[in-house]
Structure 1
Amino acid sequence: MSEPPMRDAMVLKAQRFVNSVYGSRTGTTVEESGEADWATMYALTRALQYELGITPLSDNFGPGTLSTLAAKFPKLDQDTVPSPDFCRIIQAGLYCKGYDGSDLDGTYGARVQAAVTKLKTDIGVEKAFPGSDLTPKVFKALLTMDAYVITGSGSDQVRDVQRWLNGRYVDRQDYFVVACDGQSSAATFKGLLLGIQYELGMADGTANGNFGPGTQSGLKSHPVKQGDQSVWVSLFSAGMVLNRRPVALSDSFESPLAAAVRAFQAFVALPSTGDGDFSTWASLLASFGDQSRQGQACDGIVQITPARAATLKAAGIKYVGRYLTNPSGKSLPEKAIQPGELQTITENGLRCFPIYQTTGDDVSDFDYAAGRTAGYAAVNAALDHGFKNGTRIFFSVDFDAVDDQITESILPHFKGINEAMADSGNPYEIGVYGSRDVCARVGGAGYSTASFLADMSPGFVGNAGHQLPDDWAYDQFVIRTLGSDDAQLASIDINIASGRDTGQGSFNRPRPAVPDVALDRSYLPSLRSDLSRYMQSIGYADAGGIGTDAKLYSNSQAVDAIQDQDELITQLSNTYTMRKALIQTAVYWAMRDYSLADQAVDQKVVGYHLSGSGTVKDSHTGIAEISGTDAIQAWNHCIGWGYTTGKHLDAGKDADIWSVWQRLNKDNAFTVRTVALIHLWDLRGRPGGWLPPGDRVTTPRTMRLGLAEFEITELLRRYRAWDPDQEAQTHQSMAVYQLFEKYNSIARNA
């Protein structure tokens, strides 16, 4: 039997049937597309529940539906099907599964009987449920989108395991038919775990398919080795098959299986004995494996002091994962690498592998522009700490991303990281931290060279049913507390190390957080080039555009205008302990975003004040797109706090708005100075500059050279508080900040 067709006249007939007969009864209709889908299966499930008298109706073929069906119709055949429409539900399900459901005639005839018999054979339950009658669990299997033939990259060996599990355990209360598509799915692994629990003697209702303490304890009493022959060998070989090892399901432990076990053990960093001991069972069945193993690596959020280094060495740790930056200025004060820490690590014979993470715990944190920002930021931070060329930085995906999210967000994000790294001259290798699925797909796309697995979460969709990627470097498998008193590391993540990455054991001199200096004009060609590549990658041509959206300033004009004010920007930076990049980014983005439409609004302001025409008295103008009203408020605020001197003006008075507006429009030095004052004003929460309720980012601290990345993001967001596109533009402008910071840091550390 072939796979169900994508479009099929009989599937269309089934959809029309369920709509016409049950649509008004169940409140559910489906698109009549001729394509089998979950919506159609849900509609058929509701139709069955209607026939069984179940209320309320549900898309879920759950325990209530199954128990009611079993009580009323333990076997459905030509004599027990209660009505033609009831039979048509069965026939419609067969159509959608690619089987011959006859002519939707409501008769459980020979063709339906043959199809049901074939279905049970494909599922592997022909011995458990012989004959052509339809039993409740097979009916449940019928109304799913699971396939019972090989699909895609599925293998015969995996399908043999799936059919064997179904045939052996389908009569147990909590075992439900798994797909027989040859794919190593989470459902198949759960079926295998249920089988193990049943063989351990767990009762129905106790067995749950989880690799919990009871299951682990039981398996420790059931090692298998060469020469054994039992159901335990079958279960063990099934685990090897589902992990895509080159073996077949067998109840005899022979030499080919032992050889494959040794290769698997070497791959997952276990002793290569060839025996099926508990540690090997655990690595086959759960992402975290045997959590009593000795780990050679760790990662954590506290500083490695000499005392803590001694604790790690005593625990057998060689490699320490530490964070390049701290996403918060207030919480977890030691999350980022601390001054002198890398020297401590080196002096104690340990090695460090760097991790880059801001939040990374939600899909909204990931896209191409964020990847470019992450790449530039990680390079800047790694250079600051003194990591040598060739170090691998692990970029974090700290949530359970599903396939669509990986495709639409995670892969573009890592594409951005790669392009940022290339722009920087490829000083560092790129690694990925995340679920097995995330790591495998990022590596498969060529965006990373090694994986750091978040394997402590077996329930992650991206871990369950997924094998350890071939390029794994670190496998995070347990949390432990090591040491005591000042030497304690509480709740630190312990990792298995494969040897594919060994971090760094020596470092360059760290770049200190010194004030900014003048930018040498020799850097400008490279700066222009970096900015041009990035801006083009997010849709900004170097110059021009179409219609009112046409931009008036080119990439080169923006860079040159900023460089013309470099002496002033440097002075402001030093006066206010403010990174130059904050001022440079605000001006650059404003210039690159300034359009013909914006210019037309400026002309309306001129008309209002000079000839009394129109009602537009103010606009965001000049090289930094600042309104007269905002400038007045920022200057008044900073005069009041003693940041600058001058006369308080009235933001409600036309004459004052016009006076300041003209300076913003024509006087670039005044505008640049105002940018710095707006940042200081924003720091204290300008009107309209606060975050929406529930936002993760807190108010920045006082201005300083070492603001955390989220504090910088927040200041740039507040700067554009007037702009309806502020969130998107702030997000994109963070890469611009990192590019300016790249060259500023080179200059101040020359």
Structure 2
Amino acid sequence: MADEMVLRAQRFVNTTYNNGATLGISKLAENGQTGWPVMYALTRALQYEMGITSLSDSFGPLTLAKIGELYGKIDESTVPSANFCRIIQSALYCKGYDGGEIDGTYNDRVKAAVVQLNQNMGVSGTYPGSSLWPKVVKGLFNMDAYVTVSNGSDSIRSIQQWLNGRYILRKDFYIIPCDGHHSRDVAKSMLFAIQYELGMADGVANGVFGPGTQSGLRSHTVSNGSTGVWAQLFTAAMILNKRNVPFGNFTSTVQSGVETFQAFSKLPVTGQGDFQTWASLLVSYGDQSRKGTACDGVTMITPARAQALKSAGYQYIGRYLFNPSTTDLPQKAIQPGELATIKEYGLRCFPIFQTWSRSADYFSHNQGTADAFRAIEWAEYHGFKPGTIIYFAVDYDAMDGEVTEYVIPHFRGIMRTIGENSAYGVGVYGPRNVCQRVADAGYAAASFVSDMSSGFSGNLGYPLPTNWAFDQISTITVGSGSGSIEIDNNIASGRDTGQGDFNAGADLGGLDTDLDKAAYRDAMLADIQNYLVSIGVPETGGEGWEPDDDWATLGGISTTKAVDLVLSADWLFTSLARQLKLRKALIQAPVLWELRKLNPLDMAAVAAVRAGLDDDCSTGWGQIHAWVTIDARNYCREQGIINGAPLTDADTPTVWELLTDDETYNIGSVAYLTIYNAHQLGAPRPNLTTSLAQTQALLARYNGTGEDAEKYGRELIGLYNVLENYNMLSRAE
């Protein structure tokens, strides 16, 4: 929502500084909404007014030092100019304070706002009155909040204010948010606070959990009855880790909370704030000297290595189902005979699935669906039994907004696909925030936490996820000689114990692969066009279209577009065909045909259902009715091909919407209908060797029965043959 005074601040910058040109920026949008662009502009304006020639978005050391050097503090007696004051007033408004009309006067309204700002920051004891001191100015020119926001915790806000008030005069300590939320800035400020209390000088204290800090904490165990600053720091760390204890003295209530935290984190339950507990509260990896009972790695488990791991106390081994690279880390994926070795030595294995997964643009609902199909296939190939939890990796520092936009939809696709097509469970590997967000969304039963990456924003300021199974804290080498192996050392919670016995494994031979589009797309398109023209289907228009129809405007789909749409979902056709052990051309052919033959009558039928004039019609890429989809999916459920509750007539509207709006659901339904059609014909389930005659009968049944259906089958078998030709070429590569 637009704020009139923020709008005036934006106009002030634009009119005073030549639409931003003087400041080296573009003209500000005059929308009355605060944000980083406005704060950056005001920061540059402040620098400009102080005579700094190299302007920057950053309120860095030079800007901070310049304020102290020129003014000491800013108030009605030191503010150097009206424009300088207007910048301060504008910043106050952008922070939600009364800036006093942006009139260039450091008046009573501005003074009252500064008093309130200092109080909200928790520094009014150090900075009483209405003057703006340099570090307060720095805190004013950013997007941090100093009041509780977005369901923040008042307890956390009190700790933030306490930290600001106690340490603001230390050289490297800057004002942190007082918004009631833990964050990386708050986590780092806690480490500075501990270092200051350990007696580290300015310039030595650095906010890093290094050897000096660790050594000092070993001498500062707190327990029931402890008071003073160390008790305050410890209880603050507990509260920041979402433990419901009072801030201040170490009481019996705190002791009880510590015992619960230690049990949850698999620490020795002492009830004291000992070093290991301090470490687990302050940094994601905690005490890296802790010896776990789980590990993961990219090296094959040989008999010698299995014995070394077992002798070192390890029970659970994380190994990768698949390695997309044929050259890097040749032993990353589970090797032949490896699981038998793990079983022989009484160890257990939990599987990890990762291809790339190291940037936001990898993640999407479709990619999650594709990954899930591939993970099922590889888990079955290696012989993992039903009930196994597969950990899908998010192997980068995902920002919270990226988790919302990319990672959550990705895991939605994983969960639906794993749930419908297997008896496996879904786990997530990643930073703490990623794991907790995915778990809260209901898309992961367990978390494998990448806590070694302590600098990740998704680890700093976030507690251990509630459903953690494995906590990755250090990289170590175990064993010697032929038994030597480098592993990631993990703490195990007991939530997941992996698998200690394995099936024989599945055969992946002869299955379809993704089409080599670069090699075959153009030739395939030309052959499909030639075939369709030969049976009376031109590039555009044709049967179902009147000569005077505005084909393009009405939404007609050309042969070229239909082919490209099918190729855009090639990953899904491949995944379904491999999962169901049939030829993907059997799924592709009716979908391609129905896309190309889409006509005004089809569109009108869809519009009628949307308007409530009808209950059902053929819809989506495969032009399927909801009622037949319900029958097909129910049959496949009865046969154990897919999972889920039976569908009823009451589900018709929901199924129809999914068929219409979700191409993944629609194409999957085409595949399941193909299997159901074989049942209706009294024919064997389609497989990799289904004859052409049987394939033609299945394609005909897609359109029902009778002469029209028989013609449909004759037309589609030719299209099937073209598609299968190119699929076969890709299989042979």
Question: Is TM > 0.5 for Structure 1 vs Structure 2?
Answer: yes
Counterpart selection for 1:43 from 41, 44, 56: 41
Deviation by residue 1:32-58 (Cα, 9 ceiling, x = unmatched) = 211221111111111110111012111
1:486 maps to 2:485? no
**Alpha-carbon separation, structure 1, partners of 2:597 and 2:403:** 38
1:329 maps to 2:326? yes
In structure 1, the partner of 2:446 is 450
How far apart are 1:680 and its partner, in Å? 7.4
Cα RMSD of the aligned pairs, angstroms, is 3.0
How far apart are 1:248 and its partner, in Å? 2.6
Deviation by residue 1:632-660 (Cα, 9 ceiling, x = unmatched) = xxxxxxxxxxxxxxxxxxxxxxxxxxxxx
Counterpart selection for 1:99 from 97, 100, 107: 97
Whether the 8 Å contact between 2:85 and 2:106 is mirrored in structure 1 is yes
**Alpha-carbon separation, structure 2, partners of 1:133 and 1:363:** 44
Whether the 8 Å contact between 2:562 and 2:592 is mirrored in structure 1 is no
In structure 2, the partner of 1:415 is 412
How far apart are 1:27 and its partner, in Å? 3.4
Deviation by residue 1:351-372 (Cα, 9 ceiling, x = unmatched) = 1111111222222322111111
Counterpart selection for 2:8 from 13, 23, 30: 13
Secondary structure of 2:556 counterpart:
helix
In structure 1, the partner of 2:112 is 114
Whether the 8 Å contact between 2:472 and 2:490 is mirrored in structure 1 is yes
Deviation by residue 1:334-364 (Cα, 9 ceiling, x = unmatched) = 2222222222212211111111112222223
Whether the 8 Å contact between 2:373 and 2:579 is mirrored in structure 1 is no
In structure 2, the partner of 1:58 is 56
Counterpart selection for 1:342 from 330, 334, 339: 339
Deviation by residue 1:169-206 (Cα, 9 ceiling, x = unmatched) = 11111111000011011111111111111112222222
In structure 1, the partner of 2:66 is 68
Letter in 1 for 2:402: Q
Deviation by residue 1:207-229 (Cα, 9 ceiling, x = unmatched) = 22122222222212222122222
In structure 2, the partner of 1:364 is 361
Change (3 A) 1:305 1:81: same
How far apart are 1:510 and its partner, in Å? 2.1
In structure 2, the partner of 1:352 is 349
Whether the 8 Å contact between 1:553 and 1:592 is mirrored in structure 2 is no
In structure 1, the partner of 2:188 is 190
**Alpha-carbon separation, structure 2, partners of 1:596 and 1:306:** 55
Range with bigger deviation, 579-588 or 202-211: 579-588
1:495 maps to 2:490? yes
Secondary structure of 2:37 counterpart:
helix
1:435 maps to 2:431? yes
1:278 maps to 2:275? yes
Letter in 2 for 1:8: D
TM (norm. structure 1) is 0.71
1:262 maps to 2:313? no
In structure 1, the partner of 2:399 is 402
Range with bigger deviation, 263-272 or 359-368: 359-368
Change (3 A) 1:446 1:680: closer
Letter in 1 for 2:197: E
Counterpart selection for 2:375 from 356, 378, 389: 378
**Alpha-carbon separation, structure 2, partners of 1:380 and 1:365:** 20
**Alpha-carbon separation, structure 2, partners of 1:372 and 1:316:** 37
Whether the 8 Å contact between 1:516 and 1:580 is mirrored in structure 2 is no
Unaligned segments of structure 1, at least 5 residues: 1-5, 518-542, 559-577, 600-663, 684-750
Whether the 8 Å contact between 1:552 and 1:592 is mirrored in structure 2 is no
Change (3 A) 1:33 1:350: same
Secondary structure of 1:494 counterpart:
strand
Change (3 A) 1:246 1:667: closer
Residue pairs, 1:193-272, within 5 angstroms: 193-250=191-248, 252-272=249-269
Change (3 A) 1:516 1:111: closer
How many residues are treated as equivalent by the alignment?
565
1:679 maps to 2:730? yes
Range with bigger deviation, 51-60 or 213-222: 213-222
How far apart are 1:63 and its partner, in Å? 0.4
Whether the 8 Å contact between 1:94 and 1:100 is mirrored in structure 2 is yes
Secondary structure of 2:30 counterpart:
coil
Whether the 8 Å contact between 2:394 and 2:429 is mirrored in structure 1 is yes
**Alpha-carbon separation, structure 2, partners of 1:504 and 1:369:** 29
Whether the 8 Å contact between 2:171 and 2:202 is mirrored in structure 1 is yes
Whether the 8 Å contact between 1:268 and 1:498 is mirrored in structure 2 is yes
How far apart are 1:598 and its partner, in Å? 11
In structure 1, the partner of 2:557 is 549
Change (3 A) 1:82 1:330: closer
In structure 2, the partner of 1:389 is 386
Change (3 A) 1:382 1:68: same
In structure 1, the partner of 2:23 is 26
Unaligned segments of structure 2, at least 5 residues: 513-543, 546-550, 567-576, 599-714
How far apart are 1:231 and its partner, in Å? 1.3
How far apart are 1:143 and its partner, in Å? 1.0
Secondary structure of 2:471 counterpart:
strand
In structure 2, the partner of 1:176 is 174
Whether the 8 Å contact between 1:127 and 1:167 is mirrored in structure 2 is yes
Secondary structure of 1:478 counterpart:
strand
Deviation by residue 1:691-736 (Cα, 9 ceiling, x = unmatched) = xxxxxxxxxxxxxxxxxxxxxxxxxxxxxxxxxxxxxxxxxxxxxx
In structure 2, the partner of 1:575 is none
Residue pairs, 1:609-688, within 5 angstroms: 671=722, 674-675=725-726, 678-679=729-730, 683=733
In structure 2, the partner of 1:82 is 80
In structure 1, the partner of 2:682 is none
In structure 1, the partner of 2:467 is 471
**Alpha-carbon separation, structure 1, partners of 2:578 and 2:264:** 47
In structure 2, the partner of 1:129 is 127
Secondary structure of 2:103 counterpart:
coil
1:148 maps to 2:146? yes
Q: What is the percentage of aligned positions where both structures have the same residue?
A: 51
